[in-house]
Amino acid sequence: MEAIDYQQIAFQLILAAGNAKSLSFKAIQEAKMGKFDEASISVENAEEELTAAHGSQFQLIQREANGGENSISVLLIHAQDHFMDASLMKDLAKEFIEMYVRMSKYEDALAKTF
């Protein structure tokens, strides 16, 4: 079984997850300003970052599934936390975008009544 650089995998996870989380926050802010197309693009970019993070994570899963052992460190646990936070944030961003789209439609409809 080939050696794995756990520190490198952890930092790849942290980097990609951090990017995904930032893009998700950006998407929420864009939706809040009514920039729904931009918000959707930011969420898509966040999903791409999460896919990259999952690729790093999958190396560890695959190794263990093939009978290898993984060295667990606080850094790797921290990286997994970042990955899970970013995944949740992306899901929440999608919900916020949908909510802001609905609010915008209701505001437009309400404005037409006056």
Find the length of the chain.
114
Which residues fall in the annotated binding site for Mg(2+)?
81
Res. 35 pLDDT band, cuts 50 70 90: very high
54 has catalytic annotation: no
Binding site residue list: 81
pLDDT in tens, 39-78: 999 999 999 999 999 998 898 889 889 888 888 899 999 9
Q: Where are the domains of the chain?
A: 6-112
Which tokens belong to 105?
């439609």
Residue with tokens 């898509």: 44
Tell me the average pLDDT across 18-40.
98
Name all contacts of 75-81 with Cβ < 8 Å and 24+ positions apart: 75/6, 75/7, 75/10, 76/6, 76/9, 76/10, 78/10, 78/14, 79/9, 79/10, 79/11, 79/13, 79/14, 79/17, 80/13
Q: Which fold has domain 6-112?
A: Methane Monooxygenase Hydroxylase; Chain G, domain 1 (1.20.58)
List the catalytic residue out of 78, 84, 99, 104.
Answer: 78
